[in-house]
Amino acid sequence: MTIHIGAKPGEIAETVLMPGDPYRAKWAAETFLDDVRRVNDVRGMLGFTGTWRGNRVTIQGSGMGMPSLSIYANELIRDYGAKTLIRIGSCGAMQEKVQIRDIILAMTATTLSTPSRGIFREVNFAPCADWSLLRAAVAATEARGAPLHVGGIYSSDVFYDERPDLNEQMTRHGILGVEMEAAELYILAARHGVRALAVLTVSDHLLTHEALSAEDREQSFGDMVEIALEAAFD
């Protein structure tokens, strides 16, 4: 048991999927895992452990933003021995070629700031995904025939952004989409020698202003969860 996770020793699997929304964690666990049991409800940040094709999996909410994710990822890795952490979440598209419902696999994550910024001081560390997970996720997505984009994303530290000039530069430099957690996850994975990947579903578009309805989000997010599971156990 840690400050933010109430699971007992042995209740967290080595493979952890991390949606931001704790209720999405509940939905994903009940939909895709067998023998599911809740292992965390501290502060309402739900976590569940079950099995997928005989493999133990934990799905733990991370909250919104890099500071919140950093808390849960640190405790999962340092206190519970998590070895593979995959963020499953939504993002906003930043390129015309990227469409609503498409899957983005984040090869790299650009950011202005993360909770780890103070460690690097003047160094601009380049957070990137684990290659084995990325390769497996590409294969899993292609096998499903889902529209796929692989490349750089932007992890913003604000939701209500008032820097249109910055968004323009991200688009100009080929950034596929924007979300709020992956960069810190990749940094923590590098620091602790574990695997990490962000599998993202495009839920809205910064250029066209399209957005998925709640019903469409659930259907589209199902593909993302299965891709993450297949990549983790490739």
**Is 153 a member of any domain?**
yes
Q: What is the pLDDT of residue 219?
A: 64
The tally of domains found in the chain comes to 1
- Catalytic residue list contains 204: yes
Per annotation, catalytic residue among 41, 79, 157, 204: 204
With a threshold of 0.85, does the pTM exceed it? yes
Binding-site residues, please? 4, 20, 24, 43, 87-90, 179-181, 203-204
Share of the chain above pLDDT 90, in %: 87
Domain span holding position 196: 15-232
**Using CB atoms within 10 A of its CB, is residue 6 exposed (0-12), middle (13-18) or buried (19+)?**
middle
**Is 45 a member of any domain?**
yes
**Using CB atoms within 10 A of its CB, is residue 106 exposed (0-12), middle (13-18) or buried (19+)?**
buried
For residue 35, which phi and psi values (nearest 5 degrees)?
Answer: 50, 45
CATH number of the domain at 165, please.
3.40.50.1580
Instruction: Round the CA-based radius of gyration of the chain to a whole number and report it.
Output: 16
For residue 209, which phi and psi values (nearest 5 degrees)?
Answer: 65, 20
**Is 142 a member of any domain?**
yes
Q: pLDDT digits over 34-70, tens only?
A: 999 999 999 999 999 999 999 999 999 999 999 999 9
Q: pLDDT digits over 204-230, tens only?
A: 999 999 998 877 776 679 999 999 999
